[in-house]
């Protein structure tokens, strides 16, 4: 191999390694790309559901009226393969823990125009056999209120109404379930 080709190959490999290193650093440092347990003192009050076009499988819900319960908010859309891969876990948690005080709310926030159709969302709910509450957030108002950026995204809200855990993307199902169990075991605030 001549010197010019070796130099070009070396430069290309160096560039590729640099991009890979940058991607790794970004993935490790970017908030929201892994599970986040807020821990003591790092929680924030959960925002109310805002700008909901329609509630499906439920009457309209309000965070303030859910105090004393643990709330799992799942941002999803029916044409997202990652959301569909996560959905069996969300449905299982709903069935397993709803009688212990867990409220699951799927916030359907469309990525594509055809996902805005209530008829299409209802069809997906039937086909996917979703029984938990689904809030249709076509205007992204609740998405923005939570500061969300990803599909799927899970937020856990404790019995005091604070976001205490979040996970973006697939995975960490065991960790998320343990957090649900721990939150359910906490005492409810007085007066709830």
Q: pLDDT of 53-74, one tens digit each?
A: 999 999 999 999 999 999 999 9
Q: Which residues partner with 168 through β-bridges? A: 153
Task: Grade residue 178 by pLDDT with cuts at 50, 70 and 90.
Answer: very high
pLDDT reading at 9 higher than 60: no
Whether this prediction's pTM lies above 0.85 is answered by no
Tell me the domain boundaries of the chain.
1-30, 33-185
Q: What is the predicted pLDDT for the residue at 125?
A: 98
Architecture of domain 33-185: 3-Layer(aba) Sandwich (3.40)
Read off the pLDDT of each residue in 84-96 and give the average, rounded to a whole number: 98
pLDDT for the residue 22: 36
> How far is the C-alpha of 5 from the C-alpha of 184, rounded, in Å?
63
DSSP string of 99-141, one letter each residue: GGTEEEEEEE--SSGGGG-HHHHHHHHHHHT--SEEEE-TT-H
Cα distance between residue 139 and residue 117, in whole Å: 12
Mean pLDDT across 155-179: 97
Q: How far is CA 117 from the centre of its chain?
A: 21
Q: What's the pLDDT score for residue 37?
A: 56
């Amino acid at each position: 191999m001549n010197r010019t080709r070796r130099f070009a190959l070396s430069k290309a490999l160096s560039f590729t390694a640099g991009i890979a290193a940058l991607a790794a650093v970004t993935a490790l440092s970017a908030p929201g790309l892994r599970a986040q347990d807020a821990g003591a003192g790092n929680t924030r009050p959960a925002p109310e559901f805002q700008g909901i076009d329609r509630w499906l499988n439920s009457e309209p819900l309000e965070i303030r009226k859910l105090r004393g319960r643990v709330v799992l908010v799942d941002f999803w859309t029916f044409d997202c393969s990652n959301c569909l891969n996560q959905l069996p876990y969300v449905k299982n948690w709903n069935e397993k823990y709803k009688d212990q005080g867990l409220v699951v709310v799927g916030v359907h926030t469309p990525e594509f125009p055809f996902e805005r159709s209530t008829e299409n969302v209802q069809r997906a709910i039937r086909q996917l056999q979703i029984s938990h509450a689904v809030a249709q957030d076509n205007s992204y108002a609740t998405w923005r209120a939570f500061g969300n950026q990803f599909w799927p995204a899970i937020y856990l809200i404790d019995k005091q109404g604070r976001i205490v855990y979040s996970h973006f993307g697939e995975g960490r199902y065991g960790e998320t379930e343990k957090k649900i169990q721990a939150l359910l075991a906490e005492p409810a605030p007085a007066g709830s």
